[in-house]
Amino acid sequence: MKTFVQTGICLLLMAVIPTFSLAQTKAERKQQRAQMVKECMESKQFRIEPNSALTMSGWNVQLNSYYSLEVRNDSVFSYLPYYGRGYNVPYGGGEGLNFEAKVEDYKQSIGKKGNYEIEFSARTREDFYTFHIDVYDNGSSSIHVNMQRRQSIDFLGDLVFKENDEE
């Protein structure tokens, strides 16, 4: 009977110890990810890959292909799909949200929930774009794009870190 109790205690300890160490590593990973987000936001160089688009007419489109929004130095590289109504666009639809342009009026602040709020605008020969981006500590982000000649559109996605680019 004494051996049975000792075996039970050993099994209980073996079950509890890995769970405790897993919780520590999970907290450490969360903190490390928040630090990586902070570094990206402080450098003002980041890349977001959206996984869904939300149109103004209420459609939610899951994105399967490779799309991204990248801010580097003083430029924005937008390779995003567009779903919505255009009011005054070139024949054939034009470039849409596929462009490279200079960033104007870049503003970055910390929101009430601890997220990073980024606002900037860009101008191409087709349209004038205003971007509002929210980036959270876990790397998730939302992008709101307002345009003069088209309906606005939202994207949900994730911040891509440099380690992911090297793989």
pTM of the full structure: 0.77
Beta bridge partners of 121: 104, 130
Give me the pLDDT at residue 10, please. Answer: 61
Give me the pLDDT at residue 100, please. Answer: 93
Q: Residues near 6 by Cβ (< 8 Å), separated by ≥ 6? A: none
Q: Does the pLDDT value for residue 68 go beyond 70?
A: yes
Q: How far is CA 93 from CA 99, 148, 151, in A?
A: 13, 15, 13
Confidence of residue 165 (pLDDT cuts 50, 70, 90): very low
Give me the pLDDT at residue 166, please. Answer: 44
Give me the pLDDT at residue 78, please. Answer: 93
The full set of domains in the chain, from first to last, is 38-166 (2.40.128.410)
Q: Does the pLDDT value for residue 52 go beyond 90?
A: yes
User: 26-30, 66-70, 153-157: lowest mean pLDDT where?
Assistant: 26-30
Give me the chain's average pLDDT, please: 83
